[in-house]
Amino acid sequence: MTRSASSELFIYDLAVGRENQRQGVGSWLIRELRELAAAVGIRDVFIPADNDDTHALDFYRVQGAVGSPVTHFTFTAP
């Protein structure tokens, strides 16, 4: 990422198996990743979620995340 000189953590995807959902696993993963990142000086953590994935949006908001406007561009092979 080039928007700042500091290091950032980008979590491409986070998924918990259906049989382990609603047991705190996802919350634990987010908490641990944020703590590990902070321990090495990384303050900014990013994770994308599709706007129509209301479960993910609600989950990240409960974790204290704040949404930000961003546009993703996709190229297909010519």
Task: Map out the domains of the chain as residue ranges.
Answer: 8-62
Question: Is the model's pLDDT at 2 over the cut of 80?
Answer: no
Q: What's this model's pTM, rounded to 2 decimal places?
A: 0.81
Contact indicator for 38, 8 with CB cutoff of 8 Å: no
Buried b (16+ CB within 10 A) or exposed e, 28-63: eebeebbeebeeeeeeebebebeeeeeebeebbeee
pLDDT at 5: 74
Residues 6+ apart with CB under 8 A from 58: none
Encode pLDDT of 6-55 as tens digits.
888 999 999 999 999 999 999 999 999 999 999 999 999 999 999 999 99
In three-state secondary structure terms, 8 is strand
Q: Between 54-62 and 25-39, two packed helices, what is the crossing angle to 10 degrees? A: 50
Residue 5 vs residue 17, higher pLDDT: 17
